[in-house]
Amino acid sequence: MTKRATRESFGQALTELALENRNIVALNADVSKSTKTAELQKVAPERHFNMGIAEADMMGVAAGLALNGKIPFASCFAMFATGRAFDQIRNSIAYPHLNVKICASHAGLSVGPDGATHQCNEDIALMRVLPGMTVIQPCDDVETLQAVKAAAEMRGPVYIRLGRSAVDDVNDESYVFTPGKGVVLHQGKDDVTIFATGLMVQESLMALSILNEKGIDPTVINIHTIKPLDKDLVLEYACRSRFIVTREEHSVIGGLGSAVSELLASEHPVRQIFIGVNDCFGESGTPAELFRKYGLSAKKIAEKIENELNR
Amino acid sequence: MKSTELIARKMRQNIVRMIHSANSGHPGGSLSCADIVAALYFNVMHISKENINDVSRDKFILSKGHASETVYAALIEMGVLEESEVYTFRKMGSRLQGHPNMQHCPGIDMSTGSLGQGLSVGIGMSLANKLDGNDFRTYVLAGDGECQEGMIWEAAMAAAYYKLDNLLLIIDNNGLQSDGFNEDVMNIQPLGKKFDSFGWNVFGVDGHDIDVITQACKMAETVKGKPTVIIAQTVKGKGVDFMENQPGWHGRGMNDEEFASAMKQLGGDTDD
């Protein structure tokens, strides 16, 4: 099993896209080696615009490039893309519904040692609230390669959430990414469903093996597209579940858990366990240490599900 | 009176009609930039009703989006919008939103309203034109007070760094902002020296002399290797004596008496 960070896969997909389509351009804010647009720069330097440490300007420039027919991929750290430049994304990209792809890396606690200022646990909430914005968080290499290419085919703004840390493959080469369609990775025998996104898909599959050893068999579903949410799939599994679990490397406020509960509260209320960052800031540490402390580790998830079943 | 000056006068009349009809809007800053916008649309830019929907052409971004009245008035003179639409301004269902919305209003090249963002968008357009190897130019109009936004200076750095000689910024230097005189709220001067130190070519003009504005825009086309900013000295509320240089006329409507007086001064009729 290979391990690769989704930001690396993004760099590869972007470069392949640029070689196929001369309208693909990239922008960065002085983190091009970290968020991997530097890969495109190697093959098409005239189409890579480093805007310096100026995220607001970068988003505005991306809007202008889109207005004149380019397909800009604007990339930097998730915290500064969505936090620093929220007004620019809202008013200069989402409101005119421009064809800008925001591919932000270093999302969530798994940024690790850089600590809380760089661990963005709010970006899904910030992007999901914008009308017309598609929000995608791929979980592994294969899914990221396809998601980035799919984003280039869509008309309108897309936010792709990428991670810093290398992650295990979930999908094999036969996998086909379909925007807006969740993926049932494991059909369980018990009436429990885990909806996970991003790196939490891997953690959910690890939790599954812990639970299977105890004779518990939940369903595990990868929700790579948080907006628009796969309503049919979420409803189908909510209807056959005693309770559901949502898992994300993001605040429990405003992310996948909220998206799912907004749907289910009106369509089919079901007990929901929200697993995510509990309305607090992170700190320096390794991703594994941080997942343990903040309740995101596979072991912790398995415990929560077991406790809920014994309630 | 020359034809573009006549157009600017008609634009001012429609600006006042819009604000009276809506009983809100931004009279001061719309009247201050009317001559600049008239010069751009009717003397400088290669833009007409015929090419208005082209993806690539000369483009205009009203970074100070609250002066939307002025661009709507220009698009009426161009025949892109109907004159009768002035009475829909700022009302439900209108193409003439309080701040320009490119999604629903033809001829609007970018939705604006949140200050400070237009120059960056202009940079994006200019970079695209360079990549495509075409000669189209991008025009951005910003307010002087708007230059208090930090993003303007991020963009000022970038435009010079990328040597965008196909980008022209015009600053409507009327000296006033919502809360009062710029120098009292947050001094932004000297603007020319600031842009010069950022690597820009700087021109200063009388922002109410359409011939001079036109000449400066044409001269800017000959400046290579750097972007040009034209700092246009203007009077906020220009053309209506009780509005001129008055902080209170940044954002407000007008009553019938004020409307009648304004229209009389602008040579328009109030019968409509």
Residue B2 has pLDDT above 90, yes or no: no
* Antiparallel, parallel or unpaired: β B59-62 and B138-143: parallel
Measure the CA–CA gap between A160 and B189, rounded to whole angstroms. Answer: 41
Q: Would you list the domain boundaries of chain B?
A: 3-265
B190 prior amide bond cis, ω within 30: yes
Q: Is B165 helix (H, G, I), strand (E, B) or coil?
A: coil
Choose among B142, A162, B54: nearest CA to B45: B54
Measure the CA–CA gap between B259 and B14, rounded to whole angstroms. Answer: 11
Residue A83's identity, in one-letter code, is: G
Q: For B220-264, how does the pLDDT look when each residue is reduced to its tens digit (9 = 90+)?
A: 999 999 999 999 999 999 999 999 999 999 999 999 999 999 999
Cα of first residue to Cα of last residue in chain B, in angstroms, is 24
Measure the CA–CA gap between A51 and A48, rounded to whole angstroms. Answer: 10
Cα A297 to chain centroid distance, Å, stands at 17
The CATH architecture to which A3-168 belongs is: 3-Layer(aba) Sandwich (3.40)
Q: For B151-173, how does the pLDDT look when each residue is reduced to its tens digit (9 = 90+)?
A: 999 999 999 999 999 999 999 99
Residue A58 has pLDDT above 80, yes or no: yes
CB contact under 8 A, A64 and B126: yes
Give pLDDT, residue B272: 53
Q: Which two tokens stand for residue A244?
A: 């559901």
**Is A125 in contact with A163 (CB distance < 8 Å)?**
no
Indicate the pLDDT class of residue B269, thresholds 50, 70 and 90.
Answer: confident
Q: How far is A58 from chain B (nearest CA, A)?
A: 8
User: Testing the interface with A: which of B101, B121, B125 to mutate, by most A Cβ within 10 A?
Assistant: B121
- CB distance from B131 to chain A under 8 Å? yes
Measure the CA–CA gap between B39 and B19, rounded to whole angstroms. Answer: 22
Q: Would you list the domain boundaries of chain A?
A: 3-168, 183-309
- CB distance from B121 to chain A under 8 Å? yes
**Is B230 in contact with B53 (CB distance < 8 Å)?**
no
CB contact under 8 A, A61 and B158: yes
Domains A3-168 and A183-309 share a fold: yes
ipTM of model: 0.97
CATH number of B3-265, picked from 3.40.50.970, 3.60.20.10, 3.40.228.10, 3.40.120.10: 3.40.50.970
Residues in A lying within 8 Å of B, measured between beta carbons? 25, 46-47, 49, 51-52, 54, 56-70, 72, 87-88, 90-92, 95-97
- CB distance from B220 to chain A under 8 Å? no
- CB distance from B59 to chain A under 8 Å? yes
Residue A296 has pLDDT above 70, yes or no: yes
Give pLDDT, residue B1: 67
Identify the bridge partners of residue A101 per DSSP, sorted by sequence position. A73, A158
CB contact under 8 A, B125 and A68: yes
**Is B31 in contact with B12 (CB distance < 8 Å)?**
yes
- CB distance from B63 to chain A under 8 Å? no
Residue B217's identity, in one-letter code, is: C
The average confidence (pLDDT) of chain A is 97
DSSP state of B233: E
Closest residue to B121, CB basis, from A46, A60, A87:
A60
Identify the bridge partners of residue B168 per DSSP, sorted by sequence position. B139, B228
Q: For A197-248, how does the pLDDT look when each residue is reduced to its tens digit (9 = 90+)?
A: 999 999 999 999 999 999 999 999 999 999 999 999 999 999 999 999 999 9
Q: Domain A183-309 belongs to what topology?
A: Rossmann fold (3.40.50)
Which residues in chain B are contacts of A59 at CB distance < 8 A? 120
